[in-house]
Amino acid sequence: MPYIADLKTVEKIVAENDNLIASNLKKNGTWVGESRECVAVVKHFTKVGQTTNWKKGARVKENTRIQPGTAIATFNSNGKYYGHAAIYVSQTAIAITVYDQWNDTPLHTRQIKFKGHGYPANDGDQFYVIE
């Protein structure tokens, strides 16, 4: 069963942060949850629970059944959470759009391209629904 956020609440904060000039985002933006980590925002808005209990669900890429607001993450080869978590917004043939945050960047809108390079957080092919 996927975990789904109420987007009205998320989008209010995201809109305020997205309107900040990039140089002011880190200084004046709003982080959400128990910490500034990516997991904190997903846990805060979806009540998904501890990462040790997360299960790897359906792949995000080309999955038209994923509802906006769904909690998604990257997982290792054993199906355990590894790397990054975000709130799914939408996708095109070239990228997924998410709401995410991390230590030095508050909650904001971000596109993550498919066939990305480097860290799984920057590769849309690596994201799956959290169950």
Active site residues: 38, 84
Looking from the CA of 107 toward its CB, the CA atoms found within 13 Å total 23
- Classify 8 as helix, strand or coil: helix
The tokens describing 75, both together, are: 């997982």
Residue 54 identity: W
Task: Classify residue 76 by burial, with Cβ atoms within 10 Å: 0-12, 13-18, 19+.
Answer: exposed
